[in-house]
Amino acid sequence: MYSYQHPHPAVSIDCAIFGLDEGELKVLLIERKHEPFKGRWALPGGFVEMDEDIDEAARRELEEETGVRKVFLEQVGAFGAPGRDPRERVITIAHLAIVNLHDHKVRAASDASEASWFPAAKPPALAFDHRKILEASLAKLRDKASREPLFVEFLPKRFTLTQLQHFYEVVLGEALDKRNFRKKIMSYGAIKELEAFEVGKAPRSARLHRFDSKAWTVLKKAGRSFAI
């Protein structure tokens, strides 16, 4: 087996996992069970194994530390400042993940004492350089949400236009005019009205809608975005 003559860094992954909880954008954090930073909150993550693809490592660590699997996952970037990990020279590949809280329940496992949701904009003090990673992940999330129908990863399959508008306001951090929002979102032709209404909201139950992925595929092929 070939052996490098020069020192080289270890590689890890860290995941910023977002979800909508009680109308607020939350990030999933784990309480570290071991040193360094024992007892501190951190993004779920760990070291990449020698025979493992980076994205495979991210999915494995997600499941091992939080019980979350089969979710939206995308790379954010690399973070490799010397000294970011007091154990050794470590370069981490940050990932953005999205959990639909209607479909997933989280649990602490592996080297995490606890897994819990926190407001993404106001997290507790984080271990390592995870605050920097979280901020970069939030920026990527907002950018993607402003151009693509990322709401399908957060909301139930049937949703109201009020829920949809609230998603954009929470993620983008700005209030939207109701009339203009609905006019624009419906103009894409990818939001379909259903012959169904919210349950238990009478006498003013809101109509439910669904996302038409085939219509969105046609829009993408035509070079359109889902800009809000």
Alpha-carbon gap, residue 5 to 137, rounded angstroms: 35
Q: Give the active site residue among 74, 114, 135, 148.
A: 114
- For the question of residue 114 being annotated catalytic, the response is yes
At 124, the amino acid letter reads: P
Burial 191-222 (b: 16+ CB within 10 A, else e): beeeeeebeeeeeeeeebbbbbeeebeebeee
Cis bond before residue 203 (omega within 30° of 0): yes
* Cα 12 from Cα 93, distance rounded (Å): 6
3-state SS class at 196: strand
d(Cα 56, Cα 69) in Å, to the nearest integer? 11
Residues assigned a catalytic role: 114
